[in-house]
Chains A and B, each alone.
Chain A
Amino acid sequence: MNARCEYLLRLGDDALILGQQLGLWTGHGPVLEEDIALTNIGLDQIGQARAWLTLAGRFEGKGRDEDQLAYFRSPAEFRNAQLCERPNGHFGDTIARQFLFDAYATELHAGLCQSEDSDIAAIARKSAKESAYHFRHSRAWMIRLGDGTEESHHRIQQSLNEILPYAGDLFHTDAVAASAASEGWGIDPSSLRDPWNSHVEEMLKESGLMRPESTSERTGGRIGQHGEQLSQLLEEMQVLPRTYPKAEW
């Protein structure tokens, strides 16, 4: 498989899995306004997923479109960061997951705007605006919950402790990442760790939350290693096209 396709699958799968999970919040948010906000973010993620996967399919060269890539790959073929497949949990869990991702995505998309591949740059330009907004939203909630009540502080600290080790995949570097950077159409995600870290530090300062004691990072998502959650998530997501493969929808 070529590097560009692989790289784009990583971008697309992150967005797809997050979008799928955020969609589960529709109708179940803590307040009507927030229900609408979470769905908006989920919609953006699905939109980004469609764009990245369509492009990935083109580089793959087997004639697969966004839906064939989304619905007919098995868990081991998914390239999303393990962070994205962590369960929604309560509102704080979802926000912490989204915050860590948004802090990375806003840097990633800003960087990809400079891509020498004009398709990648175009998708990145649109995504950059969206992820900047998502970041603003999740950051504000990290601060609200961290600063809010004793209960919310405790809960969101717990969420952060649990999710932080899963951020490792976001900065995973390998031959694919290296050629992305050297060929100028992508960026090596390991270069995003420092700016990401300062976003996290700033949030911690404002929210009064603590950085959990460092535990070893969980990685493997970029090479198809996932937790149980992903196979359940995909089973649900893929059920119709897999049950009726001849149907069009």
Chain B
Amino acid sequence: MEKKNWPLWEIFIRSRQGLSHRHVGSLHAADAAMAVENARDVYTRRQEGASIWVVPASAITASSPDEKSVLFDPADDKVYRHPTFYDLPDEIKHM
């Protein structure tokens, strides 16, 4: 008999309003609707969720670790993008 595995889905959950969806893990489901239901049962058993995204794992294109330096190192020397780069007088408390 031909083997018919259920496809793998990557699950992203927004734990509460105001936060972005975060990858929590994966699971198997025959279709998207089932993936959402399964995600609810598997990953939100303790009220962890406000919203669920399910994405077929096969639809994700990942960057290769070998490109890591090409992709991310250029950001290394842009310290001026970080707030701590700027020295301000102590009197300025919140900025």
What residues make up the interface of A, taking CB atoms closer than 8 Å to B? Answer: 31-34, 36-37, 40, 136-137, 140, 144
Contact = CB atoms under 8 A, between A and B. Distances in A.
B30 A36 contact: no
Interface string B48-86: 000000000000000000000000000000000000000
A217 B42 CA distance: 38
Given A33-B42, A36-B42, A140-B33, 9 more contacts: A31-B28, A33-B27, A33-B29, A36-B38, A36-B41, A37-B37, A37-B41, A136-B37, A137-B37
B34 A31 contact: no
Contacts of B41: 33, 36-37, 40
A33 B27 CA distance: 8
Nearest to A43: B45
A193 to B, nearest CB: 28
Interface of B: 6, 27-30, 33-34, 37-38, 41-42, 45
Contacts of A137: 37
A144 B30 CA distance: 10
Q: Most chain-A Cβ atoms within 10 A of its Cβ — which of B29, B38, B41?
A: B41
A32 B29 CA distance: 10
Contacts of A37: 37-38, 41
Contacts of A144: 30
13 contacts: A31-B6, A32-B28, A33-B27, A33-B29, A33-B34, A33-B41, A33-B42, A34-B38, A37-B37, A40-B41, A136-B37, A140-B37, A144-B30
A34 B45 CA distance: 14
A238 to B, nearest CB: 29
B41 to A, nearest CB: 5
A144 B29 CA distance: 12
B34 A140 contact: yes
A40 B46 CA distance: 12
A25 B30 CA distance: 20
B33 A33 contact: no
A34 B27 CA distance: 11
